[in-house]
Structure formats: C-alpha cells, structure tokens
Amino acid sequence: MQQDEYADVDLTGKVSVITGAGRGIGLAFARTLCEHGAQCILAELDAEMGEEAAKGLQAEGLNARFWPLDVSDPAAVEAVARQVWGEYGSLDIWVNNAGLARHQPSEEVSLENWQTGIGVMLSGTFFGCQSAGRIMLAQGGGSIVNVASVNGLAAQPGRAAYNSAKAAVIHLTATLGCEWAARNVRVNGIAPNVFLTELAMASMTYSGAASLETYIRRCPARRLGEMPELLGTLLFLVSAHSGYITGQTLRVDGGFVSDHYL
Ligand SMILES: NC(=O)c1ccc[n+]([C@@H]2O[C@H](COP(=O)([O-])OP(=O)(O)OC[C@H]3O[C@@H](n4cnc5c(N)ncnc54)[C@H](O)[C@@H]3O)[C@@H](O)[C@H]2O)c1
C-alpha cells in the first residue's frame, strides 16, 4: 500500500495535536498529517525527543511544532488544548497516542506501575478527549482518534495495566462517540497489532512474551502490518471518507483478533 493512495485526503489548514509524537507511531502519524496539509503539534513527555522530532519534520518542510506535555496531568492537557485554540483559532484533530510498555507478572506489579499505566493510557486518553472535545463542541466539529491495541480485545499475560487501559479506551471511544455524534465531534479508535517500534520491541524482548516469529505464525495475514497501513487508517478516520463513522475502533491487525482457530 502506497501512501499516495490517500492523496485525496486534504487536511490543509487543519490544526492537529498528536500526543506521544516524539517517536514511533505518533511521529509517523504527525508526519502523515503534515504531509496532507495539517499543522501539527507534537505533544510529548520527553522534551529532547519531541524537539528533535519536530525539527526533523520542519527540515522536511512540514508544519510541525513540539509542545511539552504529560498526558496524565489533566491541567496540562487542558492548557495545551486551550493554547492551541488561542494561537490557531481552531482545533480540528486530536490523536491520543501516548503509551508505554511495561511487562511484569501481575502479582508483582507495584501501585506506581499500575497507576502510571492507567494514568497515561486510560486517564490520559480521557483527558485528551475531554479537553479537545470541549473545544471541538464549541467550534462545531472535530475528529478525535484514540490509539488502543489488539491487547484491549485479546489478553496478553504480564500486561494487566496495559490490556485493561486499552480495553477501557475502546469503550471510552464508543461512549464519547455516541455522546458527541449529534454535535459533529467524531471519536474513533485504532487497535493495531504489532508494528515495529521501540515499544513493540520492548514487548518482544520481555521474557514471558511470544517471539516475533510466533506472532507472525499466529496472525492470519502471516506478516506484520506495515506503517503505511496504519497511516491510511488514521487518514481515513480524520477525513470526510469516514464522516458517518463514530464510536468505533478499527482493528489494524491482519485478522489477529478474529482468529481463534488453532
Ligand atoms: N507498536 C505497536 O506494535 C503497538 C501496537 C498496539 C498499540 N500500540 C500503541 O500505539 C501507541 C504508540 O506506541 P509506539 O509503539 O509508537 O510506542 P513508543 O514507545 O515508540 O512511543 C510512545 C511515545 O509516547 C510518549 N509518552 C509516554 N508517556 C507519555 C506521557 N505521559 N505524556 C506524553 N507522552 C508520553 C513516549 O515518550 C513516546 O514518545 C501507544 O499507545 C501503544 O500502546 C502500539
């Protein structure tokens, strides 16, 4: 799949915020939104990485900026949303992507680990939806995309907080999608299978995890997903192509979750 298959997705002038955009999927999301005309704020916890990522996109001639953000801090999320609205006059796309991979037997998980996982991936997603939603409802429309995971639909041992947060994100997406549908604010999700980022590699190297080969054998498509396939899903969800779609989480997983056949 080539990215220019989405050449008709014109996001010119759309103001977008992508959380956790310093690297991996978030950075790829920011690049593709920029390439389709959007102005992107890379909202990232790691300032050095965020700066570097934004500079890289600027060097490619793209309209990107880094703003520091810890998504688990609701006041900080609200401040970023308000500041974007104040500076740009609109907020059209908000992608809740920030996440982290921690693996541990559940009986050993500390309170801090549990709270961080839930705080970043569930509460952080809610705070992003709420702060962006307030503005989008006031301005008469917008599109929010939440990055869930196949782990929100099928469990993986050793990732209690991650799996629980991602499952809740899928239901949060459905809830807000219904709640705001009549007011032109769409809330959708993406549930990826394995895409080779640092987070995914950390999952693979955890001693209790399946190997890459096992994943591929277990996946009906018999291959990993390629980044353009994830980017295409994002472009679909933020464009008019999906104008009557809300509250849904699309699995981008090569059939992984559908298949229970051994
Ligand atoms: N890569 C995969 O295979 C895969 C599969 C399913 C779901 N996902 C989800 O996709 C998203 C991105 O994953 P990735 O693979 O690119 O991971 P990654 O580790 O490469 O990137 C995650 C980014 O989020 C940032 N971040 C972490 N905590 C933050 C916070 N509190 N506030 C702001 N930013 C924060 C990190 O600094 C990092 O830049 C995550 O939500 C992850 O759960 C990834």
DSSP-assigned states of every residue in 34-90: HHTT-EEEEEES-HHHHHHHHHHHHHTT--EEEEE--TT-HHHHHHHHHHHHHHHS-
CA distance 148 to 253: 12
260 within domain boundaries: no
162 among known catalytic residues: yes
243 within domain boundaries: yes
Among the listed residues 27, 32, 117, 41, the one whose alpha carbon sits nearest the alpha carbon of residue 77: 41
217 within domain boundaries: no
CA distance 66 to 68: 7
The strands making up 185-192's β-sheet, listed across from edge to edge, are 64-68, 39-44, 15-19, 93-96, 142-147, 185-192, 249-252
43 within domain boundaries: yes
pLDDT confidence of residue 3: 46
201 within domain boundaries: no
46 within domain boundaries: yes
Cα–ligand 1 centroid distance for 120 (angstroms): 10
1 within domain boundaries: no
Question: Does ligand 1 lie within 6 Å of residue 25's CB atom?
Answer: yes
The number of distinct structural domains making up the chain is 1
Domain that holds residue 29: 10-195+226-252
Question: Block means of pLDDT (10 residues each) for the chain, length 262 residues?
Answer: 74 98 98 98 98 98 98 98 97 98 94 98 99 98 98 94 98 98 98 90 73 90 95 97 98 96 74
Question: Does ligand 1 lie within 6 Å of residue 234's CB atom?
Answer: no
Cα–ligand 1 centroid distance for 261 (angstroms): 30
186 within domain boundaries: yes
From the CA of 121, give the closest atom in ligand 1: 41
**Which protein residue has the closest C-alpha to ligand 1 atom 38?**
20
Cα–ligand 1 centroid distance for 100 (angstroms): 5
From the CA of 124, give the closest atom in ligand 1: 31
pLDDT confidence of residue 197: 84
pLDDT confidence of residue 1: 44
Q: How many CA within 13 A on the CB side of residue 224?
A: 14
120: domain CATH number?
3.40.50.720
**Bridge-partner residues for 42, per DSSP?**
18, 66
CA distance 236 to 243: 9
Dump pLDDT digits (tens) for 124-141: 999 999 999 999 999 999
